[in-house]
Amino acid sequence: MNPLAALYSGVVRARNQLYDRGALKVRRLQGPVVSIGNLTVGGSGKTPFLIALGELLHQRGVAFDVLSRGYGRSTTGLAMVDPQGPPRDFGDEPILIARKLRVPVVVGEDRYAAGKFAEQSFGPRLHLLDDGFQHRQLARDFDIVLLTPNDAHDTLLPAGRLREPLSSLSRADAVVLTNAMSSDGLPLAHQKVWYVSRGIVPPDVKGPCLAFCGIARPANFFADLKAAGTALAGTKAFRDHHAYTRSDVQRLLALREHHGPATFVTTEKDAVNLGPAAEQLMPLHVVPVKMQLQDPDTALDAILARIAQRSARSA
């Protein structure tokens, strides 16, 4: 193992042991908490999955809010997300979640404080904890972890992308895998395994497209477009959570001038980060990324049953 990765592994193990033994304090909100997280740095589909789960909760008539750190924002402290606000104030993914689900989204480094703020504002309700697997300061009633095919062969930071080893899956209640991934060889015991299909809503355009994005795994987006039958004249990748500038827009326009008439195609998260600058890139098609649980009713029943058990114990 890489020496720095070995040092990082020791720190992660020690921290988790302190929580497991009760040496580090865990705080509980009045409302139940369902965490959606992963083991890696970005790129596992947490936001599309959270949106899909939120849509299922809407269908069941379950009131909920979302608690998020607000990664990438330039502000600090607690804030209620304005769906039409700038990503520098709230983060791009919280804004996207607020727009798609139309529920309160509260950002804050301290997710317990964010949850208390939400409960004071709207009363106790179910909280979806975004990117919460490593945020152990907040007690949760159901822990969901998303895995990608690369995770099983990855290594710990800083040599690889793993924030925790695969053995940490023992804390999870459910592990979400894509349909193309097998659970064979994964350290799963009591965990429920849920399968999801992931894809895009293909752009309804004729002729070549110029695709660009600033996400954790841009190659996946470009591959999804090709798999959907979209002809790509060219591609441009930016870093994850990229805040687009005037010069970025000019570079994209130059790319179109080089390749000839073409429609720009990008992701919903990038549309958030483009803001009003999107008008300069017309025609521009914004492509949603969708996740679909293989058996959504069974998955949601498992979550709600666990919450009901907690309510019965505390009554």
User: Could you report the per-residue pLDDT of 206-225, keeping only the tens digit for each?
Assistant: 889 999 999 988 999 999 99
43 has a pLDDT exceeding 80: no
Q: What pLDDT score does 203 carry?
A: 87
Q: Name the residue type at position 196.
A: V
Q: What pLDDT score does 199 carry?
A: 87
How many other C-beta atoms are found inside a 10 Å radius of the C-beta of residue 16? 19
Instruction: Report the pLDDT averaged over residues 110-134.
Output: 96
For the domain with range 202-287, which CATH number is right: 3.30.200, 1.10.101, 3.40.50, 1.10.10? 3.40.50
Bond preceding residue 283 cis, omega within 30 of 0? yes
**In the block, which residue shows the tokens 């600058």?**
277
β 174-178/126-130 pair status: unpaired
pTM of the model: 0.93
Collapsing DSSP to helix, strand or coil, 94 comes out as: helix
**Inter-residue contact 100 to 53 (CB < 8 Å):** no
Query: CATH says 24-198+292-314 is which class?
Result: alpha beta
Distance CA 269, CA 277 (A): 14
Q: pLDDT band at residue 106, thresholds of 50, 70 and 90?
A: very high
Q: What pLDDT score does 1 carry?
A: 67
Q: What pLDDT score does 4 carry?
A: 80
Burial 253-267 (b: 16+ CB within 10 A, else e): eebbeeeeebbbbbb
Q: pLDDT band at residue 260, thresholds of 50, 70 and 90?
A: confident
Instruction: Report the pLDDT averaged over residues 143-152.
Output: 90
Q: What pLDDT score does 125 carry?
A: 95
Instruction: Report the pLDDT averaged over residues 191-219.
Output: 90
Domains 24-198+292-314 and 202-287 share a fold: yes
**Inter-residue contact 221 to 213 (CB < 8 Å):** yes
Q: What pLDDT score does 149 carry?
A: 84
The structural domains of the chain, with segments of one domain joined by +, span 24-198+292-314, 202-287
Closest CA relative to residue 234, chosen from 214, 272, 261: 261
Distance CA 296, CA 184 (A): 22
Give the CA distances from residue 225 to residues 42, 292, 306, in Å, rounded to whole numbers and listed in that order. 20, 18, 38
- Residue 166 phi, psi (nearest 5): -60, -25
- Encoded tokens for 82: 């304005």
Instruction: Report the pLDDT averaged over residues 37-58.
Output: 93
Instruction: Give me the chain's average pLDDT, please.
Output: 92
Distance CA 186, CA 169 (A): 9
